[in-house]
Amino acid sequence: MKKTATITLMLLLFLTAPISCLGSTSPAQTEPIIRILPDGSLDNTNVPIQRNGDVYTFTGNVCAQIVVDRDNIVIDGAGYALHGTYNGTRTDSWVVGQGPDQEFDDTVPWTMGIDLANKHRCGLTIKNLNIKNFYIGTYLHTSNNTITGCAVSDNIVGILLSGDSNTITRNYIARNDEGIFFGVNTPGDEPLNIVLTHNSFVDNEVHFSGCFCEDYNTTEAVHTWDDGKEGNYWSDYTGVDADGDGIGDTPYIIDVQNEDRYPLTQLAATPPTPPPKLQVEIIAVAIALPVIIAAAVIVYMKKKR
């Protein structure tokens, strides 16, 4: 794609800069940072996250940012939430993908829900997690990562994607300024081998974007965001499904170089929910009942003697 020079410059500065550099002009983050260290340990064990080998399972909601410095791990939200403090007001924040001509205050803290510690970390799977109220929900800038069964909502950018060979399936992506921002690492080097299917894009200001282009390369193949049979659900799709097979009869056009050929007409994914908690009364009875029975048996045996 031929991009405007200013947009390209600002976007490349953002996507190629180390995360520590991006935050160098901002004050301390507003949420604590939980780090999964190279040896697999958590640098903060006073959080409702339980580790079992390379699987990290939430046992409650967490207000923090997570930085992953270990390969091939699974973060299982178990239906709980990882949330920040972004409240929907971004008048003072610079927004990736909207160019350099923005008025913003670089002292306003920005936050990122889940980030990989460096360009060498890969193989991260995030599932069953509600990620919300961050500047950027998740940043995938390396390869072989997966986001599945999650809800990514109420962020400025839901998922920032610039790495190759990543999979984003069966997620509920809603009410973000930008649902997914499809970025680049170097000019002309767009992420390859991306699987993006069976997601629900709901009420985002922009569901999916890569840049605001002056001109497009007409010889470049159109990117198709489906699996050849089924694609994603887009809340602003206006096509019809005449045969009632759940797939729109016309493609969903994102822009001249991106489309979903088989848009779904029903929600493909909904937010995960945590397992129901037993009421305190039920737990108390479950604990007390064996004790009562045992006591009754002892009394009966004594009387029988």
Tens-digit pLDDT profile for residues 165-204? 999 999 999 999 999 998 755 545 567 899 999 999 999 9
- pTM listed for this prediction: 0.79
Identify the residue whose tokens are 């997966």: 146
- The mean per-residue pLDDT over the stretch 52-80 comes to 98
Per-residue pLDDT for 148 more than 70? yes
Cα–Cα separations (whole angstroms), residue 39 to 43, 62, 68, 75, 241: 10, 22, 11, 16, 51
Cβ-based neighbours of 305, under 8 Å, separated by 6 or more = none
Per-residue pLDDT for 274 more than 90? yes
Domain range annotation of the chain:
5-274, 279-305
The span from the CA of 117 to the CA of 121, in Å, is 7
pLDDT at 109: 58
Tens-digit pLDDT profile for residues 49-64? 999 999 999 999 999 9
Query: How many other CB atoms are there within 10 angstroms of residue 274's CB atom?
Result: 16
Instruction: Pick the more confident residue, 275 or 27.
Output: 275
Per-residue pLDDT for 300 more than 70? no
Q: What is the dihedral of CA 291, 294, 300, 301, to 10 degrees?
A: -140
Of the pLDDT bands very low, low, confident and very high (cuts 50, 70, 90), residue 5 is: very low
Share of the chain above pLDDT 70, in %: 71
Strands 81-83 and 130-132: parallel
| Amino acid, single-letter form, for residue 260 | D
Highest averaged pLDDT of the listed ranges 14-18, 90-94, 171-175, 206-210: 171-175
